[in-house]
Amino acid sequence: RFMAASAKSKTSEAKQILKQIYVMEQAYRQEYDTYWGNGVTADAANGNNFARIGVQVGANARYSYAMVSAANTFLCTATADIDDDATIDTWTIDQTGTLTNTIDDPST
């Protein structure tokens, strides 16, 4: 149970950064009439890659973030192996603000 609780707590990083990306994408679209960042990725080693929209991925980040965008839509995906198994925890957020855990890595 402790391991599952620990793994679940690590998911807060993805949720926090994805929500920040959503807010900043909305602001970017208001100014430029399009969403930003098609094909851009960011992770602990490349934390400044989302700087254009004001989002910083920290040097201790567990997740990697990948953006797919077009004029009227975007989908940002966060992925990480948070408990050293074969399953990759995957979260997404889209232009509507819908945050989804598409693959839940931590076993319960």
Residues 107, 4: contact at Cβ < 8 Å?
yes
Read off the pTM: 0.90
For the record, the structure tokens of 60 come out as 């201790």
Q: Is 67 left (phi over 0), alpha (psi -120 to 50) or beta?
A: beta
Mean pLDDT of 80-95: 91
The torsion of the CA quartet 95, 52, 46, 91, rounded to 10 degrees, works out to -10
Tell me the pLDDT tens digit for each residue of 26-64: 999 999 999 999 999 999 999 999 999 999 999 999 999
